[in-house]
Amino acid sequence: MTAAIRQYLIITGNYWAFTLTDGALRMLVVLHFYQLGYSPLEIALLFTFYEFFGVVTNMVGGYLGARMGLNRTMNIGLFLQIVALAMLAIPAAMLTVPWVMAAQALSGIAKDLNKMSAKSGIKLLVPDEQQGTLYKWVAILTGSKNTLKGVGFFLGGVLLAAAGFQGAVIIMALALGLVWLSSLFLLGQDLGRSKAKPAFREILSKSRAINVLSAARLFLFGARDVWFVVALPVYLHTVFGWDFWSVGGFLAVWVIGYGVIQTLAPTITGHARGKSGAVLWAAALALVPAGIAGGLVAGWSAQAVVIGGLLLFGVLFAINSSLHSYLIVSYARGDGVSLDVGFYYMSNAAGRLLGTILSGWVYQAYGLEACLWISAGLVAMAALLSMLLNERRAVVA
């Protein structure tokens, strides 16, 4: 086993462990606070700091990764997630909204430090001329992460039922602590550290390709979260009458399948992995939420339309997400890669923040159909922006 593969496996293992706790915590918070009587908009607001600080973290985290090394930013992310879980392990009577939002803020910082470090690290382990290998490695990392996020959703529901909210977060904090201690000793010490120390102003990308791709990513992930984060779980529970086990289990299976499709994306897209692929797959995706909304307005079977549409949305979104994840790593500079990747995932986090806020507010005010129409419009914007990309891979100086 080569040193590069060993580091890839350590990075992936860290990412997997973190993702399990992240997915479980998301489901724990949604279900636990809905049980306590919080409205969909109030639940969405609990996650606003999570998403907002993800934007800030990606902006600054890429700079820190280039100066400090990606091993340090990844380990800092793991440690902050442990602290966030510990903050939520207090008695339920003390879990005020500001306290939960503060814990979510730490978790958001932790998640995006971890993600930026993992995605940037792969760029440094694959020779620049092996773009096919790079696409496959990014797809495996991204897809397996989302598969485990789905497992995390299910784990959150199981832990909530078996150990209660407080017990669940304590168990996760202890398990992640072991992973963090291992990572301190196993992860390469100079991974991702830039040879030339970048200035802070370099956090903003000078590459047209990365700016365009970042804008498309913002709209793409806003389109997913505008109906997936709060609106969909609450809709499944209140309109379909599903219990929390059913909601958590279904969404877990959906995300697991989504992750599997992401790992298969290089096979599905073939060589259409540049501008043409990004435009084609985004345009196809835009039709799905519009079709679901149209079916609901027409009075078709809600369960058939929503569940069937959600499955198709998952397949197409997984392909779009995996293709985008490859493109940013491909476009990014070799030296100081975390600066470009951090800027890109700042847009990703901004899209999630936009979608999360809209998901609670629009669903509460106008219902699921409105969330779906907005989703279709946001994906259409991503497709239009993708038309501005270079057809061939850009080399960023």
Domain residue spans of the chain: 3-386
Provide the pLDDT for residue 125.
63
Where would I find the H helices in the chain? 3-35, 40-46, 48-68, 70-87, 97-123, 131-186, 208-228, 231-238, 244-269, 275-297, 302-331, 337-366, 368-386
150 by Cβ neighbours in 10 Å (0-12 / 13-18 / 19+) ranks as buried
Going residue by residue through the chain (397 aa), what tens digit of pLDDT does each one get? 566 667 767 777 888 888 888 888 887 887 778 777 777 667 777 777 777 787 777 777 666 766 677 778 888 888 999 999 999 888 877 778 788 888 888 888 888 787 777 766 666 666 655 666 677 767 777 777 777 777 887 788 788 878 888 888 899 999 999 989 888 887 665 555 555 455 445 555 566 778 888 889 899 989 998 988 778 888 888 888 887 678 777 887 888 888 888 888 888 877 656 777 888 899 999 999 999 999 999 989 999 999 999 999 999 998 998 888 878 777 766 555 666 777 777 788 788 888 888 887 888 888 899 999 999 999 999 999 988 877 644 333 3
If one counts every other C-beta atom within 10 angstroms of the C-beta of residue 197, the result is 10
Q: Are 65 and 116 in contact (CB under 8 A)?
A: yes
Return the DSSP state at 394. Answer: P
The H or E element spanning position 90 is none
List the one residue out of 369, 383, 234 whose CA is nearest residue 291: 369
Q: Any idea which architecture 3-386 has in CATH? A: Up-down Bundle (1.20)
Q: What is the pLDDT of residue 338?
A: 60
- H/E segment holding residue 38: none
| CB of 360 closer than 8 Å to CB of 230 | yes
**Alpha carbons 322 and 259: distance in angstroms, whole number:** 9
